[in-house]
Amino acid sequence: MGDIYLEHLVKKKPNAKTVVAKAGIAALFGTLAGGGFLIGFFFQPIAFLLVFAALFAAIYAMSFFNIEYEYILTNGELDIDIIYSKSRRKRLFSGEIKVFEVMCHVSNNDYASTFSRADVRKDYSGGEVGVNTYMFFTSQKGRRLAVAFEPNNEMLKAFAPYMGYSKLILKK
């Protein structure tokens, strides 16, 4: 078997919680900017600094809502990274595929009892259940972990030699 290297990028779709958080940040910026202009009548330099600092803080905070997940498959090892605003990256998961107990589509209820044993559940998918939204169950650092993610078809086919079709249940 030759070397395998695949990557797939999934953009997280905004949900209601994200919209409320963004609105709260915008309202906070508006309040601070209004306060800065009010103070500006008395202290010009302080007002300018307050408005500038509030704008910078709002832009920085908003950048955490532009999220993408990158799945990297390298010779039987799966890495999942989160990317904020296409500039900051953090590794969320790294593990050997051959130790996954099971991987199936999230709508497959045949393995619900297996996934219910998870100590930790993580959702590294785009946010909506789609055709390629899968979940795997594994143990890592003494914890049972259930992870939802969205690999593409090419990546799903590459999982088979490492997992076997008894543990990899593809959606029909």
In 3D space, the residue among 151, 156, 157 whose CA is nearest the CA of residue 10 turns out to be 151
In 3D space, the residue among 129, 116, 103, 150 whose CA is nearest the CA of residue 9 turns out to be 150
pLDDT at 172: 52
- CA pair distance 15, 122, nearest whole angstrom: 16
pLDDT at 145: 93
Q: Distance of alpha carbon 164 from its chain centroid, rounded?
A: 26
pLDDT at 43: 64
Strand order in the sheet with 88-96: 5-11, 67-74, 77-84, 88-96
Which two structure tokens, joined as six digits, stand for 151? Answer: 């690999």
Q: Does pTM top 0.95 for this prediction?
A: no
pLDDT at 3: 83
Kindly report the CA angle at 150 between 125 and 98, in degrees rounded to 5?
Answer: 115
Q: What's the pLDDT tens digit per position in 50-92?
A: 777 878 888 888 888 889 999 999 998 999 999 998 888 999 9
Name residues of the chain where pLDDT drops below 70.
1-2, 36-43, 171-172
Cβ–Cβ under 8 Å, residues 166 and 105: no
The Cα-based distances of 138 to 37, 67, 102, 121, 144 in angstroms read: 55, 25, 8, 11, 6
